[in-house]
Amino acid sequence: MTIPEHYRVLSGAKLKRMSSPVTSPELAHIIEEASGIDAEALTPEAKISELGISSLSMIEIAVRIEDTFGVFLDDKTVFGIETVGDLNNHISSGTGE
């Protein structure tokens, strides 16, 4: 049986539907490489402002996102996204505005 991506196993067999999608492994890898933050800390609810990612690292993340996913992130978007989940949703929607 395959468990849908939007479910996370909690304490044994209990399942909980998450309010936001799981961060994609590709996005977590990009953020980890650019910022040095452990991918396990990059939950959808993690606030980018609280992760301590520098502005230079955010630009690098934006460039890598464009290269990897083909989604352009302008400066307003890069510095306006609040959580890792919001960034993941933005990429998933394919919008570049």
Cβ proximity of 88 and 27 under 8 Å: yes
Q: Is residue 59 part of a domain?
A: yes
Model pLDDT, residue 19: 38
Cβ neighbour number for residue 62 with a 10 Å cutoff: 22
- Of the chain, the end-to-end C-alpha distance in Å amounts to 38
Range(s) of the domain holding residue 88: 22-93
pTM for the whole thing?
Answer: 0.72
**Number of domains composing the chain:** 1
Model pLDDT, residue 13: 42
- What is the residue-level pLDDT of the chain in tens, covering all 97 positions? 444 444 444 434 443 333 344 578 999 999 999 999 999 899 999 999 999 999 999 999 999 999 999 999 999 999 999 999 999 999 998 754 4
CATH number at residue 41: 1.10.1200.10
